[in-house]
Structure 1
Amino acid sequence: MINLPSLKQLRYLVTLSETKHFGKAAEACFVTQSTLSAGIQELETQLDAALVDRTRRKVVLTPLGQVMAARAREVLAQAEEMVLLARAVSEPLAGPLNLGVIPTVSPFLLPRVLRSLRRRFPKLKLFLREDLTARLVQQLEAGRLDLLLLALPIEARAVETMPLFSDAFRFACRNDHPLAESNGVPMPALQNESLLLLEDGHCLRDHALDACQLPRPARRESVGATSLHTLVQMVDNGLGVTLLPDLALQAGILRGTDVVARPVMTPDHAEPPARQIGLVWRRGTQRAKEFRLFGEALLAALPKAKPAVEKPAEEKVAEGRVV
């Protein structure tokens, strides 16, 4: 019978591959450095192969060690799924769930739904990670995150998605802008505006440009910001106009500013330009049923949108509302 490595040894190897330092890896695994070092040596003895090159300055995994660390990460993720799957049979969404969320969704959506989710799943331990889409996908593929809440579509391999709702884009400008009093801004009119957008790396930037069918020159000439709140401040200071998602507007991002938002009108009067918000998880996971349940609960927790009511321009500006 083959002498198999223990899950503890595999965790030591994975952590060492991430930290490149015995002391930091030991601290992350809550063991002494000598214990972790001995565990790695035992693993090398079992495999009869060198996994780590030890030098005075740094720790470098051998080519085989890098392959073994990647395999070990998959084994650990599957072992964790086994435990969570057994737990989900008796009670779904009880225990830890590592959720990654993009910054153009997290502060505007989560405060509206977390209390309801806690009531429905009191034993759920939801750990949140806010980051850009590309890094969240990398962490999902590496097994560090279980589920992602972001804008679709994304570029990723071996994943499944669950679209949740459409998040329309609105044209945002100062209340003294020529288009501020219009009932709707024609999509072609955006090409003539000084458009402010998020910096490269934020998926909302590309989703907004694609949804509004803006040409490539607009992409090159656009000014980048680090957050939607920064964009609103730039618009409020008369530096240009922008496109904002309904999620942010409903959360009151325009409150206290002289910025107003107007619908974007498509040439064929079809649905307004929008991004799709949804969930993403690894294909083949045993927790797919749980994740779909989470998505359904998230939708149920969202307050029902109220129909827009036309108000005088002064009142709209004061409240920073969308019309």
Structure 2
Amino acid sequence: MKRRSLKLLSLSVVSMLLVGSLVGCSQQKESTTTATKKLGMVISTLNNPFFVSMKDGAEKKAKELGYTLVVLDSQNDSAKERSNVEDLMQQGVTAIIINPTDSDAVKNSIQVANDKKVPVITVDRQANGGDVVCHVASDNVKGGSMAADFILDQLKTKSDIKIVELQGIPGASATRDRGAGFHKVVDGKANVKVVASQAADFDRQKGLSVTENIIQATPAFDAVFAHNDEMALGAVKALKAANKNVIIVGFDGNKDAVDAVNSGDMAATIAQQPDLMGSMAVDNAVKVTKGETVPKQIPVELKIVKK
């Protein structure tokens, strides 16, 4: 009787150990699967509706594909950007999407991921260094040209056209490319002059203060081209306060700017699709983690929004 009881007890213990082992294996497998389905996204700033929309589009696509997306804000600080990438490396992401704060400085952040063999995709702004598998962005050069063409068409009856340019963050590829497209159209034209070209760092408050300074120094101008909508909206406020009626064209197509176009405060905005950019970045990050080949450059369509 004792032997039988001992035998039954032994079988019970073995069964429990086997079940525990199987549960442990199942949990380990589940944990591994979860870890390998985690992506990282580092955004230059979330204090801007454009990048919030980009984040929302990325999160929606990640959820749709069954991936976890960890989004970190660099607060327009390259040092913060690098620490964000290091944090994501610790979290075990399988790919990183970076919207650079600065196209030159970001190579240090990308190198952190490169050293860990984690693929990097850039979005909106390019990187001037590091190994990047894919870049998702609008054609910023084309967008700058679209803005210039629109301004010149609106002022075609004037013999002497004076334009103010509000530049973005110095060193950002979007600043360089949008400016290049704009100047490609206006430079060399005898009746067109850019009377002021100053950086306002893609910021609404800086767009306001820089425009106020320009009005004081150069009161006569016909149009403002701002490298993004936030600066354009700052310019709107400054120009209203000075009772100046000029053409204002922004870039991005965010909600506040579209509302300003519809109300007549802005003439136009070159509209990007930040939610689609975020979505496409995640879609291609997932493809890369699965070993698929993706294009080095993925363009996102632009359109002009005008009343």
TM-score by length of 2: 0.43
> Which has more radius of gyration?
2
Is the helix fraction higher in 1 or 2? 2
TM-score by length of 1: 0.42
